[in-house]
Structure 1
């Protein structure tokens, strides 16, 4: 009997079980929900006793499989086995998309070198080591052994990540482990497919070349599919406002659609497609999701991942065949030793090398990454996907199952001890102080609330007195603990860290409140919050502030290159202009938010100076004053160059405040029953539409500069006849440039003249390795005429000192202008001759 008529969620393992006719679907639904009920019960027990959830699920599934032999009512559970199609096409898209969506992309970018090193060359090296040891010590041939090595090189750190979150492990460690797993899942599937072909057809030069080419096509083809579909669905989400049903449905279609289209129809990597789509949606795509839906979206995908993990690990336990494990025991021992050797070589050999090119990964992290290399659903899915005709499939299935059980039962249950032994779970002095101060604050608040119970006159004064006495005792104990901590553990460095962490917490609360009230956009809020995460982690674990947080010059340079590339092609020129506009608007939003955060912190520091180490507080105050002035200078620069934009931003803020106040009143009246649901929904939808229209028009409209306004300020265009003037204006191309960005670089080829609409541009040269300023240009001036007229390389660098609005005139456009406007050509040549001896820009 075949299983083609059964739903693909679970596949019956025995032919008798499918003979129930119409009860097949009912039985499967009952089993699924029975397993979910069991998973919920296990989750409750694990939360209560602080046990590893996925490990207990496997053990429960294994116990059920053993007990079912003596209890017929449970036998139906063991008649189901894991289908590889279900793992790949049902479970895997959810797990990959959820992990990518919740992974902080900029944290991943900061650690991309060690992550990709482990995921690609690391996996290939692991495949060779495991395959070589297995082929040497067992009777498995080398081609098949390499296939087994590729299968067992895929990591699945679900249990470890959950443990990290409970222990409060450093975020960078979590990103390294989870990032490696996401990328090496895709690599493992692709490599296993290539090696399966080699193992079944034999190895030769043609096979190797075709396999290598296929690897790159499949891997990078999946990236392209993910990028394309991520962009398409981001555009669709942007057109849906505050509709949770549609927005969540679109993300689910993206997760499964990207995997299905890539894997099944295009035969490229479905994992990479879903991974890239998830990363896009978790970063760029979040600005397309309505703020009211964002929190619900996060919980939805978290729950979906819980369901998939629960079913997978329960089914793993139910599917264990102890007889097959016993028969493969000798090979399994060899494989487990080979896994540990390969993991140690990859982690301790490759990771230190990446430290020469990026931030180093310390030895404690490396040890945890080694022992945290668990195996799970991906390895099982790959081995089950091997054709039944493959002679080693049964043996490989038992070995992989045994390896998965070993890593879950042994490594996952002992890694918490390892983390504790390495001190990675130990709260810093700053964290201890924050805990005590938090408890003191909560206790004081509780003390103030007790009299409210007596206000009505019906609450027993005896009970109130008892509560007050208990709270007073607790407060005394906490105060004594705080004083003891200050005297014995808190030096100037620790106290400085404590004050900074406290300030970062104040900023984080303010930014969340501003974002909740739509005073900050999603993008700006995430930028500010990411900056605080970097500062918090650096201060907590290294006792110092990071070099750059919000204003990453390397990132700005990459965006500049991308914009310049897009601007070269007519079809993408409008896109490049939008990127420029959004970048300038984002810079203003970040500066405005940071200014508000500094104001909040400085106000609080006035109170803190009376209680804590005054010199430390003053040092922190000085730093925040510097940050405040920096933010203010950025705001002033934008206000000076784009006054209409600032005015529009303030108008938008006022509208948002009005919208928020009106919505709160309508919702309050609706909850009280004064306004019916339908009328309340209609009013709130109207308010949302108004604010949506305002959001849509602000940046595009207010940063636009009319070319006529600019050209009339340029001397040699002042007296241009109207018909010639309009002809020239139509040839100009608009750009916006953030402060600090190089517009043209010394020695660079170019053929464009730039006219400054608004902003300040500094002209300089590299003289004997030192930047030397030559000139300062402001609105109404221009530069680049020598390259335009003579085609010479740029002989100086022009850098935006403030955000700038520019218009560009290119040589091909100038050729048409020359014939139509000879007076303009003459003026340009005269100015070029004057500047030839000065700076030659």
Structure 2
């Protein structure tokens, strides 16, 4: 019991100390990890001086005793502290940007680890004469990078986002390769059995793939659980903490796959799906919780590892200086080899966007080592199955190497970034920054004038403030010193990002369902990626994707037409209705945003060009909605009504919040109102069933040939016709086939492929009649240009109709004669 108490006391005081170091690090512009290393070594040295007779020192002695208890099992460091570090990194990274750089990240995270192990092993073996497998073990220990210090510096000086993504992505996965190799080499040294050359690689691939599968499965299970917690934030945090530790321990100890990869993939899966599964306030609270856990874990593991490492350094000899110099040169030389030798190969074959040489230099020099390296070194040091000289060699050199990177590389990162100019904005960002400043100053000047009236000050007070006067004078007359094509590209990216946020905003205010939000956000992410890589051309591609149905839709339509399975197609049609309606609503908001904010920032010419793109996209969505509403008009009206009801409920909820904030109602009244509102919201979120029974009457009335029929005649003709939906690009009739039906276009456009060129047939037109009249094969292909709703009249019904309706026969024959001519 006493050991537990003093251990808790030591951890509590350690948390206070690491927090006190934060303002010190900020004041002297020193990486926090450097101060943690200094503090840890100081505490370790003091603990060694105190020795085992801690009772005579009272409380300080108990603290040192507690530190010794916590650090007595270095192997526990990985199980206690590593899962929070990995999960937070995966949860907070920009997943889309990570996948954009996935090839470069895997090169740095996996290939670079193995290159480092091999180069360090060979160089240190030559320099010291120590057994090659011991040197390879040392290489595995020092191959993991610690991004905490370098990423903190990158953010502080405003480094490009890509540089941070590469550093963060590398740190996500390199622990897996290092720990797997570490375990293999420990077994080699303990059992003196060298594995088959291919066995380690196959084992690593099995562990990596198994970790990926385990992480995905556990993340989905965790999401299934949290979705049924009723919005509990404490429950959400508890489930994710359990997920991180279960993934690591289950993978590492029970399934013998990579626990590191399992945790990282679980976090990435959660980060991908979480924003559309959880309410925005839940997601923010979860990220805040994990940032706190990550700070505790990273600080404590570094501090406690440094405390234990201080004792390890008691065995230091001067010959270790030469060995650590060889280690330093080898480790950073291997890193340079990967970045300057292997990465250009990926760039050459198009797998990686070219990386600036300045970025490469920063990534080489920023390969700091930290907590995980110290923890692995101490795990090796505490493994009594290894000879004592091996344990000392690995632990001392790894500790010295960590200290070298912290005291040499870390302090010089900031000056190096300034030397390369990576802390400065590029020309585009500079121009836009200046423009935002001017616009902001003009806005503030107006508000200051209004405030002056309230305070009884002079109305021209704003003009006496130099920068506000400058802003007022410059916004109307200054040109934006940036080519228009760059401004258009920037404006597109702004609109795409805004579109994504508007979808999430609607989800957060419960105006759309979680399912629809997931689909729309995924679509927006694809749009952002296309615009990022292809600019305006990428956005034009999105115009077509909005109205082109996907493979899943085609499959459900085939199932319905072939087997009569209604439910899959009904669900897909309902999804399409809702997504198109929400997209249309968001695009109208984007048009207003473009006319105001974008026009002010980038100029009227850019806003006009962007407005054309938005109008074109909106036109396509309107056309797709029109086609669907024609066939399922009642359902479309119901969905529109539901959306309006959700909007009304959101506004009502905002009004209740306002009344509560103004103390006009009590908490009891507020809860009663919210309860009633929640019941109405649940009803509004309940999707009505979509009946696939076709509205033939409405479709027949769209065809001019049938315009003169009364209600009874329409019903009679309807018995002869069959409705059919065809998808964009789908061939309706094929040249040379036997004609068995003619078709009327109720909605959409079809293309007739003729030798002299394509002919488009629109709403109300018909085709296929010539083959039926002349009993000849089809003379042309007819392909749907978009989603088409057709009325199919088969050959037998065709003859019956012409017999019963001579006037229709005459009109059809007239059109057929014109086409033959």
Task: Specify if TM > 0.5.
Answer: yes
Matched, 1:473 2:466: yes
Matched, 1:262 2:260: no
Q: 1:24 to 1:196 in 2, by over 3 A?
A: closer
**Counterpart for residue 627 of structure 1:** 614
Residue pair 1:87, 1:377 contacting (<8 A) in 2 also = no
Q: 1:226 to 1:78 in 2, by over 3 A?
A: closer
Matched, 1:323 2:314: yes
Q: 1:553 to 1:561 in 2, by over 3 A?
A: farther
Q: 1:101 to 1:134 in 2, by over 3 A?
A: same
Q: 1:575 to 1:311 in 2, by over 3 A?
A: farther
Of 400, 404, 407, 1:406 maps to 404
Written as runs of structure 1 = structure 2, the 5 A alignment for 1:242-261 is: 242-261=231-250
**Counterpart for residue 295 of structure 1:** 284
Query: How many Å separate the matches in 2 of 1:796 and 1:148?
Result: 70
Matched, 1:597 2:590: yes
**Counterpart for residue 832 of structure 1:** none
Residue aligned with 2:538, SS: coil
Q: 1:267 to 1:650 in 2, by over 3 A?
A: same
Query: How many Å separate the matches in 2 of 1:561 and 1:46?
Result: 55
**Counterpart for residue 25 of structure 2:** 46
Residue 453 of structure 1 and its aligned partner are, at CA, apart by 5.3
**Counterpart for residue 367 of structure 1:** 361
Residue 341 of structure 1 and its aligned partner are, at CA, apart by 0.6
**Counterpart for residue 721 of structure 1:** none
Structure with max Cα Rg: 2
Q: 1:362 to 1:621 in 2, by over 3 A?
A: same
**Counterpart for residue 113 of structure 1:** 103
Residue 112 of structure 1 and its aligned partner are, at CA, apart by 1.3
Residue aligned with 2:324, SS: helix
**Counterpart for residue 338 of structure 1:** 330
Query: How many Å separate the matches in 2 of 1:258 and 1:736?
Result: 47
**Counterpart for residue 604 of structure 2:** 617
**Counterpart for residue 354 of structure 1:** 346
Matched, 1:490 2:478: no
Query: How many Å separate the matches in 2 of 1:200 and 1:231?
Result: 39
Matched, 1:385 2:379: yes
Segment drifting more, 220-229 vs 68-77 = 68-77
Question: Scaled by the length of structure 2, what TM-score is found?
Answer: 0.74
Q: 1:502 to 1:219 in 2, by over 3 A?
A: closer
Of 99, 113, 116, 1:123 maps to 113
**Counterpart for residue 816 of structure 2:** none
Residue pair 1:122, 1:346 contacting (<8 A) in 2 also = yes
Q: 1:687 to 1:409 in 2, by over 3 A?
A: farther
Written as runs of structure 1 = structure 2, the 5 A alignment for 1:192-591 is: 192-202=182-192, 204=194, 207-321=196-310, 322-326=313-317, 328-355=320-347, 356-358=349-351, 359-386=353-380, 387-391=383-387, 392-427=390-425, 428-434=429-435, 436-437=437-438, 439-441=440-442, 443-444=444-445, 447-448=448-449, 450-451=451-452, 454=455, 468=461, 472-476=465-469, 490-492=481-483, 496=487, 500=491, 514=506, 516-519=508-511, 522-523=517-518, 526=521, 545=535, 547-548=537-538, 585-586=578-579, 589-590=582-583
Residue pair 1:222, 1:269 contacting (<8 A) in 2 also = yes
Uncovered stretches (5+) of structure 1, i.e. residues with no partner: 1-21, 455-460, 539-543, 715-728, 747-754, 784-794, 807-822, 825-841
Residue pair 1:577, 1:736 contacting (<8 A) in 2 also = no
**Counterpart for residue 129 of structure 2:** 139
Of 9, 13, 16, 1:30 maps to 9
Written as runs of structure 1 = structure 2, the 5 A alignment for 1:590-739 is: 590=583, 592-604=585-597, 608=600, 617-642=604-629, 646-692=636-682, 694-695=684-685, 697=687, 701=689, 704=690, 706=692
Residue pair 1:154, 1:379 contacting (<8 A) in 2 also = yes
Deviations 1:136-194 (A, max 9, x none): 22222222222222232222212222222223322222222211221222222222222
Query: How many Å separate the matches in 2 of 1:381 and 1:566?
Result: 54
Q: 1:133 to 1:775 in 2, by over 3 A?
A: farther
Residue pair 2:699, 2:746 contacting (<8 A) in 1 also = no
Q: 1:175 to 1:61 in 2, by over 3 A?
A: same
Query: How many Å separate the matches in 1 of 2:357 and 2:345?
Result: 13
Residue 677 of structure 1 and its aligned partner are, at CA, apart by 2.7
Query: How many Å separate the matches in 1 of 2:79 and 2:255?
Result: 15
Query: How many Å separate the matches in 1 of 2:767 and 2:117?
Result: 59
Residue pair 1:760, 1:779 contacting (<8 A) in 2 also = no
Residue pair 2:578, 2:639 contacting (<8 A) in 1 also = no
Residue aligned with 1:328, SS: helix
Deviations 1:343-387 (A, max 9, x none): 000111222222222322222222222222222233233333333
Residue aligned with 1:225, SS: helix
Segment drifting more, 217-226 vs 423-432 = 423-432
Segment drifting more, 629-638 vs 473-482 = 473-482
Query: How many Å separate the matches in 1 of 2:248 and 2:568?
Result: 28
Residue 224 of structure 1 and its aligned partner are, at CA, apart by 0.8
Q: How many residues align?
A: 726
Query: How many Å separate the matches in 1 of 2:745 and 2:486?
Result: 49
Q: 1:128 to 1:619 in 2, by over 3 A?
A: same
Q: 1:424 to 1:773 in 2, by over 3 A?
A: farther
Deviations 1:570-615 (A, max 9, x none): 9xx9999978975775565445424421332124466x4xxx89xx
Residue pair 1:759, 1:800 contacting (<8 A) in 2 also = no
Deviations 1:6-38 (A, max 9, x none): xxxxxxxxxxxxxxxx33222222222212222
Residue aligned with 2:129, SS: coil
Uncovered stretches (5+) of structure 2, i.e. residues with no partner: 51-56, 701-721, 735-742, 769-779, 791-795, 798-821
Query: How many Å separate the matches in 2 of 1:220 and 1:44?
Result: 42
Query: How many Å separate the matches in 2 of 1:30 and 1:574?
Result: 61
Residue pair 1:94, 1:305 contacting (<8 A) in 2 also = yes
Query: How many Å separate the matches in 1 of 2:692 and 2:745?
Result: 9
Q: 1:198 to 1:649 in 2, by over 3 A?
A: farther
Segment drifting more, 526-535 vs 394-403 = 526-535
Query: How many Å separate the matches in 1 of 2:580 and 2:503?
Result: 16
Residue pair 1:592, 1:631 contacting (<8 A) in 2 also = no
Q: 1:261 to 1:70 in 2, by over 3 A?
A: closer
Residue aligned with 1:697, SS: coil
Deviations 1:802-821 (A, max 9, x none): 5x899xxxxxxxxxxxxxxx
Residue pair 1:57, 1:314 contacting (<8 A) in 2 also = yes
Residue pair 1:430, 1:497 contacting (<8 A) in 2 also = no
Q: 1:498 to 1:761 in 2, by over 3 A?
A: closer
Q: 1:282 to 1:508 in 2, by over 3 A?
A: closer
Residue aligned with 1:548, SS: helix
Residue pair 2:10, 2:67 contacting (<8 A) in 1 also = no
Question: Scaled by the length of structure 1, what TM-score is found?
Answer: 0.72
Query: How many Å separate the matches in 2 of 1:304 and 1:743?
Result: 58
Residue 549 of structure 1 and its aligned partner are, at CA, apart by 6.3
Deviations 1:213-262 (A, max 9, x none): 32222111111111111222222333344322222222222222222222
Q: 1:120 to 1:333 in 2, by over 3 A?
A: same
